[in-house]
């Protein structure tokens, strides 16, 4: 849900995807600094974020003026498409609010990000199921013909066995931790996860080394812990995997 506070961030899309990030940010800064004080420019090279950027001003007036004047302006031979961002940026909250407000904003943003990824993964599973069994051939009516029985072959249809990957599970208050060093006990795991707000307990699985469940009083504590511990290296070479518990 969008914040009620004035938005000072401009969302820019239709950018040249082949441009290097540093080159792109320098060009955007040169253009948008004409309209006010630019606090930050966010542009990433991953596939989902290519061709997009966020330009953060220190006032909503500067952001709106930039949109009005720069809309359709060509950068690297492509007309930019501009709009106000839907939420305040981290840079804005950090500048205008206190540390507590910034941490709350960041936790909410991370929660929304996790929920969005989970929703997209679920939609992809629905799409796979709607596509019909692999290897089925449409009959004259356009409907998939039933696969022949008795072949003894295991189905290769991805929709038959596909599940939402651990990384895209929706947030909940219990984390599932994998690849812990074999000698890590409850006390050792607690020393890592117990420092986050709302920590409740660590549960090990009898007879299974290297995994644990970490429970918090609510989602926010689990979200913060996950974002701060995922990919942490323990011992010599144990990179832990932290996801939400599958429900």
Structure-token match 């290097």, residue found:
20
In this predicted structure, the answer to whether residue 161 has a pLDDT above a threshold of 50 is no
In this prediction the pTM is 0.42
DSSP 8-state class, residue 138: B
> Please, what CATH class does the domain formed by 9-95 belong to?
alpha beta
Provide the pLDDT confidence category of residue 146 given band limits of 50, 70 and 90: very low
Give, in order, the Cα–Cα distances in Å from 15 to each of 7, 19, 79: 22, 8, 8
Tokens 């290519």: give the residue.
50
Higher pLDDT, 29 or 126: 29
Q: Is the dihedral of CA 196, 226, 108, 103 positive or negative?
A: positive
> Which residue is it, tokens 């991370």?
110
Residue (of 162, 193, 191) closest to 176 by Cα position: 193
Question: Which range has highest mean pLDDT (6-15, 47-56, 142-151)?
Answer: 6-15
pLDDT tens readout for residues 185-202: 999 999 999 999 999 999
pLDDT at residue 247 is higher than 90: no
> Can you tell me whether residue 152 is helix, strand or coil?
coil
The pLDDT value recorded for residue 238 is: 86
| Per-residue pLDDT at 132 exceeds 60 | no
68 φ, ψ (degrees, to nearest 5): -60, -40
Contacts (Cβ under 8 Å, ≥6 apart) of 94: 102
Residues 166-187 have pLDDT tens digits of: 666 788 899 999 999 989 999 9
pLDDT of residue 34: 93
User: Start-end ranges of CATH 3.30.70.330 in the chain?
Assistant: 9-95, 98-130+166-247
Q: How high is the mean pLDDT of the chain?
A: 78
The residue length of the chain stands at 247
Which pLDDT band holds residue 231 (cuts at 50, 70, 90)? confident
Q: What does each C-alpha distance from 134 to 44, 141, 146 come to in angstroms?
A: 36, 18, 11
Rg of the chain over all Cα atoms, to the nearest angstrom: 24
Q: Which CATH number fits domain 98-130+166-247: 3.90.226.10, 3.40.1160.10, 3.40.50.2300, 3.30.70.330?
A: 3.30.70.330
Q: How confident is the model at residue 86 (pLDDT cuts 50, 70, 90)?
A: confident
Query: Tens digits of per-residue pLDDT, 3-16?
Result: 457 888 899 999 99
Say what the pLDDT of residue 149 is. 42
CB 180 within 8 A of CB 210: yes
Q: For position 95, what pLDDT does the model report?
A: 54
How many C-alpha atoms does 13 have within 13 Å on its Cβ side? Answer: 6
Residue 147, pLDDT above cutoff 70: no
**% of the chain residues with pLDDT over 70:** 66
Q: Across 136-140, 160-164, 187-191, which has the greatest mean pLDDT?
A: 187-191
| Three-state secondary-structure class, residue 163 | coil
Query: Token pair 């206190």 is at which residue?
Result: 98
User: Is 234 in contact with 180 (CB distance < 8 Å)?
Assistant: yes
> Residue 67 has what pLDDT?
94
CA 43 to chain centre: 15
Query: Do residues 135 and 147 lie in contact, with contact meaning Cβ atoms separated by under 8 Å?
Result: yes
Helical H runs in the chain?
21-32, 60-70, 90-96, 99-130, 158-161, 186-193, 219-229
The percent of the chain in helix, strand and coil, each rounded to the nearest 5, is: 40, 20, 40
């Amino acid at each position: 849900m969008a914040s009620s506070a004035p938005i000072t961030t401009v969302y820019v899309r239709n950018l040249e995807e082949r441009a290097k990030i540093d080159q792109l940010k320098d060009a955007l800064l040169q253009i948008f600094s004409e309209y006010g004080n630019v606090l930050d420019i966010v542009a990433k090279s991953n596939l989902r974020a290519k061709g997009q950027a966020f330009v953060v001003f220190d006032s909503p007036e500067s952001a709106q003026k930039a949109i009005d004047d720069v809309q359709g302006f060509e950068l690297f031979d492509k007309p930019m498409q501009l709009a106000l961002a839907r939420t305040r940026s981290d840079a804005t909250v950090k500048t205008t609010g206190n540390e507590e407000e910034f941490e709350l904003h960041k936790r909410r943003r991370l929660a929304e990000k996790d929920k969005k990824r989970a929703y997209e993964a679920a939609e992809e599973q629905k799409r796979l199921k709607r596509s019909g069994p692999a290897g089925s051939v449409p009959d004259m009516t356009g409907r998939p013909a039933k696969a022949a029985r008795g072949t003894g072959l295991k189905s290769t249809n991805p929709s038959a066995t596909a599940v939402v990957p651990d990384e895209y599970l929706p947030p909940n208050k219990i984390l599932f931790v994998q690849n812990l060093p074999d000698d890590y006990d409850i006390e050792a795991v607690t020393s890592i996860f117990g420092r986050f707000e709302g920590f409740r307990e660590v549960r090990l699985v009898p007879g299974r080394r290297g995994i644990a469940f970490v429970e918090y009083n609510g989602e926010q504590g689990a979200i913060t812990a996950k974002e701060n511990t995922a990919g942490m290296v323990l011992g010599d070479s144990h990179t832990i995997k932290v996801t939400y518990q599958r429900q």
